[in-house]
Amino acid sequence: MFNKYNVIVVGAGHAGCEAAAAAANLGSSTLLITMNMGVIAQMSCNPAIGGVAKGQIVREIDAIGGYTGIIADKSTIQFRMLNKSKGPAMWSPRTQNDRMRFAEEWRLQLEAIPNLDMWQDTVKEVIVENGRAKGVITSLGIRIESDAVILTNGTFLNGIIHIGEKKFGGGRTGEKSATGLTEQLVSLGFESGRMKTGTPPRIDGRSLNYTLMEEQWGDEEKSRFSYTDVAMPTEQRCCWITYTNDKVHEVLKTGFEKSPMFTGRIKGLGPRYCPSIEDKINRFAERERHQIFVEPEGFQTVEIYVNGFSTSLPEDVQQKALRLIPGFENAKMYRPGYAIEYDYFPPMQLDLTLETLKVKNLFFAGQINGTTGYEEAAAQGLIAGINAHQKINDLHELIMKRSESYIGVLIDDLVTKGTEEPYRMFTSRAEHRLLLRQDNADIRLSPIGHKLGLISDERLRKVEEKISNSDKLVEHMKQLSVSPESINDILTRENSSPITQKARMFNMLTRPQINIYHLAEADTDFKQILDQYDKESVEQAEIKVKYDSYFEKEIEIVNKMKKMEDKEINPNFDYSSLTSLSIEAREKLLKVKPRTLGQASRISGVSPSDISVLMVHMS
């Protein structure tokens, strides 16, 4: 460790790892400081990556040149493409992961990056001079200077862990909380808030009776997050499903009077969509049972994650209730579930680059910004790492658009609207989700990664090849026809009405029951053509044919909104002098400092008439 770096990243969680890797890969000398180098990239809660909307984010990270997808692929114990029966905008890759291997692969990845140093210590203070971040001071009293600082402290800032009536300081179970930093940032004028989250108990898998549970295997045809050819484990491990019942609920209720949630000892708001089991039985009292996913923590370990049973009830109540779940009669607990409260910084204090508005060259990424989830954290880390490097080298900043990525939606939502409860990504948050699919993240974003220097020429060439291959295939389908004799049996089998005369393959493929392989089955010449192309190009061609008209309409909408989205506002614009704006709009615009008219229009409290005033004034 030296005493001067270009970029210092604080915290080696999902955000910190991506941030440090990006800054170093772009050429900045980077120091990653973390409290405990034994727990780099720890999956604090479930050993899984991706899922609905989150899987799309991971593919976007990969397309720009981040590592979360690669690391997830290397540690996959089970892969599933969720929502395959719906349209492609909903297809969402998700993996179960080997928790220890995930962390190890990240560590090895970081160690392989030149320009990247690591240091185990706790950062107590950010050095700020003339409104600019200049480095950090650690708990060992060491002063390390830098041109930019990225804070990715996760759930550690003044973290308090709750189990029943017991509470103690901690950033995660078994780890200390980080103190001092919030107070310093508040003294600099930052606003902070409090949030909470929770996690289920972990069990010794040898004590479970799996014959009483339903098996759940991953997809037979395994896919991957990364667009690179990273080697994946060949085996997969089974997960199981079981259910709670009345008896489990009755036992859990006996702990309610000691529950830190119900007695009001926890003040922070928790993630609405990951409720604890006590919350579920309290809020949905009419439900007789709740689903429990029994998930292995890795290939070799016997430890089991009890997904759906997050709780902060007393540990003896947790143990008693668990043993009433089918298959858990003899369950031995390794670690109790717990809740954690921590500080976050409302993200309206950030620019779209994730630099803070108050202190220049200081960036925040991850759970510190009020988000929840590894994927959301990793995406912010990547963007903060890129922008820190770009800023200190006077290079163009990277602002992701809502119309081009979920990452753009995430950051724009945070910065423009703020969040009072842990923010997680959903497909419904993206107005252009038809365009933001997992299958085309490489097409959308690899040029950005390549321009920055994070994606190689070879990778970009592969993306260009995928585009041209899929175009060629679509062209073939426009030219080629199938006869009633060759396809009618297949149509009848697939419950699609037979044809009476020759039809273009392109038109046949627009039928919902028909896929591209049915066309190959009907026509051996087309099969030979199809065999020459890789799976991703074939899938892309099929999606293009089936959904092109929807995509075109969506692109039209994006283009219509482009005028507003591209209309830049001077960051020093004096809203206070524009008295025709409502008072609320003036206050909010001054606080957020929107970059564009489009961003201004999304700020809550800024009405369409305020936008008209701005438009008139700007023109």
Ligand X SMILES: Cc1cc2nc3c(=O)[nH]c(=O)nc-3n(C[C@H](O)[C@H](O)[C@H](O)COP(=O)(O)OP(=O)(O)OC[C@H]3O[C@@H](n4cnc5c(N)ncnc54)[C@H](O)[C@@H]3O)c2cc1C
Question: What residues make contact with ligand X under the rule CB under 6 A?
Answer: 10-16, 33-36, 44-45, 122-123, 152-156, 171-172, 178, 181, 197-199, 274, 340, 366-367, 372-374, 377, 424
Number of helical (H) and strand (E) elements in the chain, helices listed first = 20, 22
Q: Would you state the structure tokens that stand for residue 443, as one six-digit string? A: 């097409």
Please, what is the minimum distance in Å from the beta carbon of residue 138 to ligand X? 7
Q: How far apart are CA 406 and CA 60, in angstroms?
A: 8
Residue 230 region, left (φ>0) first, then alpha (ψ -120 to 50), else beta?
A: beta
478 closest CA partner among 500, 501, 510, 435: 510
Please, what is the minimum distance in Å from the beta carbon of residue 367 to ligand X? 4
Residue 416, classified by CB atoms within 10 Å of its CB into exposed (0-12), middle (13-18) or buried (19+), is buried
81 beta partners:
93
Q: Is 198 annotated as a binding residue?
A: no
Q: Please answer whether residues 475 and 505 qualify as being in contact, where contact means their C-beta atoms are separated by less than 8 angstroms.
A: no
Instruction: Report the residue number, 149 or 487, with the smaller CB distance to ligand X.
Output: 149
Q: Is 320 annotated as a binding residue?
A: no
Please, what is the minimum distance in Å from the beta carbon of residue 150 to ligand X? 11
Q: Is 559 annotated as a binding residue?
A: no
DSSP single-letter state for residue 213 = S
Please, what is the minimum distance in Å from the beta carbon of residue 10 to ligand X? 5
Q: What type of residue sits at position 614?
A: L
Q: Is 278 annotated as a binding residue?
A: yes
Q: How far apart are CA 52 and CA 42, in angstroms?
A: 21
Instruction: Report the residue number, 48 or 70, with the smaller CB distance to ligand X.
Output: 48
Instruction: Report the residue number, 425 or 592, with the smaller CB distance to ligand X.
Output: 425
243 beta partners:
291
Q: How far apart are CA 219 and CA 79, in angstroms?
A: 6
248 closest CA partner among 179, 160, 165, 308: 308
Please, what is the minimum distance in Å from the beta carbon of residue 416 to ligand X? 20
Q: Is 13 annotated as a binding residue?
A: yes
Instruction: Report the residue number, 134 or 544, with the smaller CB distance to ligand X.
Output: 134
Q: Which residues contact 472 (CB under 8 A, 6 or more apart)?
A: none
Q: Is 80 annotated as a binding residue?
A: no
Q: Which residues contact 121 (CB under 8 A, 6 or more apart)?
A: 33, 35, 138, 139, 140, 142
Please, what is the minimum distance in Å from the beta carbon of residue 190 to ligand X? 15
Q: Is 396 annotated as a binding residue?
A: no
Q: Would you state the structure tokens that stand for residue 428, as one six-digit string? A: 């419904």
Q: Is 598 annotated as a binding residue?
A: no
Q: Is 227 annotated as a binding residue?
A: no
Please, what is the minimum distance in Å from the beta carbon of residue 179 to ligand X? 8
Instruction: Report the residue number, 363 or 506, with the smaller CB distance to ligand X.
Output: 363
- Residue holding tokens 């679509």? 474
Instruction: Report the residue number, 172 or 437, with the smaller CB distance to ligand X.
Output: 172
Q: Is 170 annotated as a binding residue?
A: no
Instruction: Report the residue number, 196 or 588, with the smaller CB distance to ligand X.
Output: 196
Please, what is the minimum distance in Å from the beta carbon of residue 440 to ligand X? 25
In the chain, what is the straight-line distance between the N-terminal and C-terminal CA atoms, in Å? 52
Instruction: Report the residue number, 157 or 585, with the smaller CB distance to ligand X.
Output: 157
Q: Would you state the structure tokens that stand for residue 72, as one six-digit string? A: 């997830």
**Known binding residues for NAD(+):** 270-284
- Please report, in range form, the residues annotated as the binding site for FAD: 11-16
